[in-house]
């Protein structure tokens, strides 16, 4: 949540040309980091100004002394110069940035892309960076992905069918890059329409509208073995698009929500949806699954999922293929 709200704040500032002298973009969710960097590259300078005033360097190949020497120069025939340090997580001597942070050059926009790592807020560098609103991009939970998608779709000026949204979230989890790519492809299929439907997602080529993780979990919830096996056979024929580990993660997350339904003291679907972090549009399916998987069965379900998690890591699986593992898993969950 913090990533989304702070991301939106930074983007608004950039659009209003309220540039910070230093942007330190760190953390695990590279989508937000890349988006801010691209926004700065598109906004700070015109194409004509970039010739003299834009510089992109890489942390593996640079040193902090040279970077700061460039940062202390003044722009040529422009209001700003823009310096982007990519792969800043590999930059040595990052503490050398501290003196510059104490007195940055206002006409320089200095950007560090520090992916998959964080600077401790307890260090002197961390405390100095905090003055400029260091942006820490964290991986989102499923409920937050849905919130991000609503904002993203608003910017795209389109809506999305609930089923299409759920298929994207269950297929790609919190991989915002992949979801964003699928939404872009789907929008290209809309023509004059303003709502992305499951068919538009399917035409993008990344997901089959009938044979996907969403349809698999729904069928398991109904204990519809025949339909489950159809989907599993499709997955076995397309293993690269449907890796066993990703399906297993989705099944675990699905049954966590089903398990939570048993603890609710209400029959109101809206309240249940809020409690389990699910859209009210789909909560009925989880209520149905909870009826089909009573608490005693749920204990078995989690034991089975744990067993197959070990098998996915090569423990006790022998030479069993992923397709065979998934078939066995689904049969045992439903029986």
Q: Does residue 67 sit in the same domain as residue 155?
A: no
Q: Is residue 208 included in any domain, yes or no?
A: no
| pLDDT tens track for 88-135 | 999 999 999 999 999 999 999 999 999 999 999 899 999 999 888 789
Q: Does residue 188 sit in the same domain as residue 161?
A: yes
**Is pLDDT of 3 > 80?**
no
Q: Does residue 146 sit in the same domain as residue 219?
A: no
Q: Of 137, 163, 183, which residue is a domain's last? A: 137
Q: Of 91, 115, 137, which residue is a domain's last? A: 137
CATH value at residue 14 = 3.40.50.300
Average predicted confidence (pLDDT) for the chain: 91
Report the pLDDT value the prediction gives residue 167, as an integer from 0 to 100.
86
CATH value at residue 195 = 1.10.8.60
| pLDDT tens track for 174-208 | 889 989 999 999 998 888 899 999 888 888 777 88
Quickly state the pLDDT bin for 140 (edges 50, 70, 90): confident
**Is pLDDT of 142 > 50?**
yes
Residues contacting 113, CB < 8 A, separation 6+ = 25, 33, 34, 37, 84, 85, 86, 87, 88
Quickly state the pLDDT bin for 2 (edges 50, 70, 90): low
- CB contact at 8 A, 67 and 57: yes
3-state secondary structure of 274: helix
Q: Which two tokens stand for residue 24?
A: 């330190």
Number of domains in the chain: 3
- The C-alpha atoms of residue 7 and residue 259 are separated, in whole angstroms, by 33
Q: Of 108, 137, 166, which residue is a domain's last? A: 137
Enclosing domain of residue 100: 2-137
Q: Does residue 181 sit in the same domain as residue 300?
A: no
pTM, two decimal places? 0.75
Q: Does residue 174 sit in the same domain as residue 286?
A: no
Torsion, Cα 174 176 179 184, to 10 degrees, reads 170
Q: Which two tokens stand for residue 50?
A: 């970039």
Q: Does residue 147 sit in the same domain as residue 252?
A: no
The residue among 117, 54, 66, 45 whose CA lies nearest residue 87 is 117
Q: Which two tokens stand for residue 38?
A: 């691209």
| pLDDT tens track for 25-71 | 999 999 999 999 999 999 999 999 999 999 999 999 999 999 999 99
The residue among 272, 275, 271, 313 whose CA lies nearest residue 291 is 272
**Is pLDDT of 1 > 60?**
no
């Amino acid at each position: 949540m913090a990533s989304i709200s702070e991301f939106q704040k930074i983007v608004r500032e950039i659009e209003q040309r309220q540039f910070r002298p230093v942007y330190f973009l760190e953390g695990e969710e590279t989508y937000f980091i890349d988006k801010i960097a691209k926004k700065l590259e598109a906004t700070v300078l015109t194409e004509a100004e970039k010739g003299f005033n834009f510089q992109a360097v890489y942390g593996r190949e640079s040193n902090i002394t040279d970077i700061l020497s460039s940062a202390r120069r003044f722009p040529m025939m422009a209001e700003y110069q823009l310096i982007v340090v990519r792969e800043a997580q590999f930059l040595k001597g990052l503490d050398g940035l501290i003196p510059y942070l104490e007195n940055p050059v206002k006409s320089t926009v200095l950007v560090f892309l520090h992916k998959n790592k964080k600077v401790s807020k307890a260090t002197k560098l961390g405390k100095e960076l905090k003055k400029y609103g260091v942006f820490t991009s964290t991986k989102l939970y499923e409920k937050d992905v849905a919130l991000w998608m609503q904002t993203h779709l608003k910017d795209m000026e389109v809506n999305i069918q609930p089923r299409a949204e759920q298929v994207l979230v269950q297929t790609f989890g919190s991989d915002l890059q992949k979801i964003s790519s699928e939404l872009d492809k789907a929008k290209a299929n809309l023509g004059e329409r303003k709502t992305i439907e499951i068919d538009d997602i399917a035409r993008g080529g990344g997901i089959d509208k009938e044979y996907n993780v969403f349809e698999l979990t729904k069928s398991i919830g109904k204990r519809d073995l025949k339909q489950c096996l159809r989907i599993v056979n499709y997955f076995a024929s397309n293993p690269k698009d449907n890796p066993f580990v990703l399906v297993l993660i989705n099944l675990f997350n699905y049954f966590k929500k089903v398990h939570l339904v048993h603890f609710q003291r209400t029959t109101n679907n809206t309240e249940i949806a809020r409690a389990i972090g699910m859209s009210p549009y789909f909560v009925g399916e989880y209520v149905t699954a909870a009826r089909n998987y009573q608490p005693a069965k749920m204990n078995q379900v989690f034991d089975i999922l744990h067993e197959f998690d070990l098998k996915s890591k090569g423990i006790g699986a022998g030479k069993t293929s992923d397709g065979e593992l998934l078939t066995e898993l689904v049969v045992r969950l439903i029986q």
